C-alpha cells in the first residue's frame, strides 16, 4: 500500500507520520512552508499516551504538487485539506490517480465525500472520521486527545484499517459513516466557540458561558437532525441527546462528570482557532452552515448557528462566553 496524504497539515502529518514510522510508504503533498522544514529536520510524531517517534525525511516522499507525480496502482489517498480546499484537491487527485483509487476523507463536516465524487468522479471516495485533536508546531505533530479513527466499510477499508492499527492508529470500521460524521459535527460546533474565545480547549470547556453557547448550537443541530431523521452516533462519552444538558451543568458538576471529555492536552485548541490565527478561511460553513442548511431543508431555523456563521465571516474577534451570549441573542 502507498499512502498519499493530500494536505500535509495537522491531521495529515499525524496520520501520515505514524504510518511512515511503521514502515508504510507515504507521500506528503503540502505547502513548501511546511515541507521544507520537514525535508531539513524530519517529522516528530507524538501522542497523549507517550508515544514519540522521529521520522527522518528520507522515510517520506515530499511533494508540493501532484503534477507529473507517478501515482502507484496501489495508492490510497488520505484527503486532509480543509473543506474549502476539497474541490481543488479532488480535481488534482482525479487527474493524477488511476480510476478507482480510494480517497479517504479524514476531514470534519458531512459534505466532503460528495465533493470528492462531484470533482473527481473516477476516484472511490470513502468517508471517515477523526475524533481527536492534533496540534502542529513546526515539524512536530502531537495527538492531544483520544479516540479511534472511524472508516466507512469498503473493500479497501479492511487492509487499510490493519495498516492503521499496526501503526498505532486506533481504527474502527463502520457500516455507515454518515451518523458518525453527524455525531462528530455536534462536537465540532465547539470549534467557533473555541476560536472566538481565544482559549485552549480545556480552559474554554471549563467556562460555563462558553459551554452554554456550545450547547445552544448543539440543541439547534439536534432538533434539525431529529426532523431530518438523522440519528447521530455517540462520538463523545455522553450520548448525543444528553450533550447540551451536560454542557449546561454548573462548573463543579461538569468537571466531575466530564472528566474523560476534559482529558485534553493543555495546549490544544480547535482547528478553527488555527485558521483564525493564520488569517485563513475557516470551516464555519461546513459546521454551523451545515446545521442551518439542514434546518432550512426541513422547515426549521437555526438562528444561533446562523449568527455564528455571521460572526466568523467578519473580522477576527476575541469574545468572552458572556459576549458570545449577547452576540447570539441568548
Ligand X SMILES: NC(=O)C1=CN([C@@H]2O[C@H](COP(=O)(O)OP(=O)(O)OC[C@H]3O[C@@H](n4cnc5c(N)ncnc54)[C@H](OP(=O)(O)O)[C@@H]3O)[C@@H](O)[C@H]2O)C=CC1
Ligand Y SMILES: CC(C)(CO)C(=O)C(=O)O
Instruction: Establish if 3 lies at the interface with ligand Y (CB under 6 A).
Output: no
Cβ atoms 292, 252 nearer than 8 A = no
Residue 280 found at the interface with ligand X (CB under 6 A): yes
- The region of 2-10, 38-46, 166-174, 213-221 touching ligand X under the rule CB under 6 A is 2-10
Task: List the interface residues with ligand Y, window 124-143 (CB under 6 A).
Answer: 132-133
Contact status: 9 vs ligand X (CB under 6 A): yes
Determine if 270 is a binding residue for ligand Y (CB under 6 A): yes
Cα(80)–Cα(99) distance, integer angstroms: 20
Q: Which is closer to ligand Y, CB of 120 or CB of 215? A: 215
Q: 81 contacts which partner out of ligand Y, ligand X, none, CB within 5 to 8 A by kind?
A: ligand X
Q: Minimum CB separation from ligand Y for residue 8, in Å?
A: 17
Sheet holding 61-63, edge to edge: 61-63, 25-29, 2-6, 75-79, 102-105, 124-129, 149-152, 171-174
Interface with ligand Y (CB under 6 A), residue from 191, 218, 282, 305: 191
Grid coordinates given for 124? 472511490
Phi, psi of 153 (to 5 degrees): -60, 135
Cβ–Cβ < 8 Å for 39, 61: no
Partner interacting with residue 181 (select from ligand Y, ligand X, none; CB below 5-8 Å by kind): none
How far the first Cα of the chain sits from its last, in Å, is 51
- Binding residue for ligand X, selected from 43, 81, 123, 216, defined by CB under 6 A: 81
Q: What are phi and psi of 30, to 5 degrees?
A: -160, -160
Residue 46 engages ligand Y in binding (rule: CB under 6 A): no
**CA dihedral (41, 267, 29, 178) positive or negative:** positive
Left, alpha or beta for 148 (phi > 0: left; psi -120 to 50: alpha)? beta
Query: Bridge-partner residues for 43, per DSSP?
Result: 55
CA dist., res. 303 & res. 221, Å (int): 11
Per CB under 6 A, does 112 bind ligand Y? no
Residue 187 binding: pick among ligand X, ligand Y, none (C-beta 5-8 Å cut-off by kind): ligand Y
Strands 134-137 and 140-143: antiparallel
Pick from 27, 86, 108, 282: which binds ligand Y (CB under 6 A)?
Answer: 108
Is the CB of 64 or the CB of 172 nearer to ligand Y? 172
Q: Decide: is 88 part of the binding site for ligand X (CB under 6 A).
A: yes
Contact between 127 and ligand X per CB under 6 A: no
Annotate each residue in 29-58 with x if it binds ligand X (CB under 6 A) or - if it does not, as one string. xxx--x------------------------
CB atoms within 10 A of CB 249: 17
Would you give the binding string for ligand X spanning residues 129-168, x where CB under 6 A is met? -x--xx-x--------------------------------
Collect all residues with Cβ–Cβ distance below 8 Å to 4 and sequence separation of at least 6. Answer: 26, 27, 29, 71, 75, 76, 77, 78, 93, 97
Question: Residue 9 binds which one of ligand Y, ligand X, none, with CB within 5 to 8 A depending on kind?
Answer: ligand X
DSSP β-bridge partners for residue 6: 29, 79
Positions touching ligand X (CB under 6 A) are 7, 9-12, 29-31, 34, 80-83, 85, 88-89, 92, 106-108, 130, 133-134, 136, 271, 274, 280, 283
Positions touching ligand Y (CB under 6 A) are 108, 132-133, 145, 187-188, 191, 201, 270-271
Amino acid at each position: 500500500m502507498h499512502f498519499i496524504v493530500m494536505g500535509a497539515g495537522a491531521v495529515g502529518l499525524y496520520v501520515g507520520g505514524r504510518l511512515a514510522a511503521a514502515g508504510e510508504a507515504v507521500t506528503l503533498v503540502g505547502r513548501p512552508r511546511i515541507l521544507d522544514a520537514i525535508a531539513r529536520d524530519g517529522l516528530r510524531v507524538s501522542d497523549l499516551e507517550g508515544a514519540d517517534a522521529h521520522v527522518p525525511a528520507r522515510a517520506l516522499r515530499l511533494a508540493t504538487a501532484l503534477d507529473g507525480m507517478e501515482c502507484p496502482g496501489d495508492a490510497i489517498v488520505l484527503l486532509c485539506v480543509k473543506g474549502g480546499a476539497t474541490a481543488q484537491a479532488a480535481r488534482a487527485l482525479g487527474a493524477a490517480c488511476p480510476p478507482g483509487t480510494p480517497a479517504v476523507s479524514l476531514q470534519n463536516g458531512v459534505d466532503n465525500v460528495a465533493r470528492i465524487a462531484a470533482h473527481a468522479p473516477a476516484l472511490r471516495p470513502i468517508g471517515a472520521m477523526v475524533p481527536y485533536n492534533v496540534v502542529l508546531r513546526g515539524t512536530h505533530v502531537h495527538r492531544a486527545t483520544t479516540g479511534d479513527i472511524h472508516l466507512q466499510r469498503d473493500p479497501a477499508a479492511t487492509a487499510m484499517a490493519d495498516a492503521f492499527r499496526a501503526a498505532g492508529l486506533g481504527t474502527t470500521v463502520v457500516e455507515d459513516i454518515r451518523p458518525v460524521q453527524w455525531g462528530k459535527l455536534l462536537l465540532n460546533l465547539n470549534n467557533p466557540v473555541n476560536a472566538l474565545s481565544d482559549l485552549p480547549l480545556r480552559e474554554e470547556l471549563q467556562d460555563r458561558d462558553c459551554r452554554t453557547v456550545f450547547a445552544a448550537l448543539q440543541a439547534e443541530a439536534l432538533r434539525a437532525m431529529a426532523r431530518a431523521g438523522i440519528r447521530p452516533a455517540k462520538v463523545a462519552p455522553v450520548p448525543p441527546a444528553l450533550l447540551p444538558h451536560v454542557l449546561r451543568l454548573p462548573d463543579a458538576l461538569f468537571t466531575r462528570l466530564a472528566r474523560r471529555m476534559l482529558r485534553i492536552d493543555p495546549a490544544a485548541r480547535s482547528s478553527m482557532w488555527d485558521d483564525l490565527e493564520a488569517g485563513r478561511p475557516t470551516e464555519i460553513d461546513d459546521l454551523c452552515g451545515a446545521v442551518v442548511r439542514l434546518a432550512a431543508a426541513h422547515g426549521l431555523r437555526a438562528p444561533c448557528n446562523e449568527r455564528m456563521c455571521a460572526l466568523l465571516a467578519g473580522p477576527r474577534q476575541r469574545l468572552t462566553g458572556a459576549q458570545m451570549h449577547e452576540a447570539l441573542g441568548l
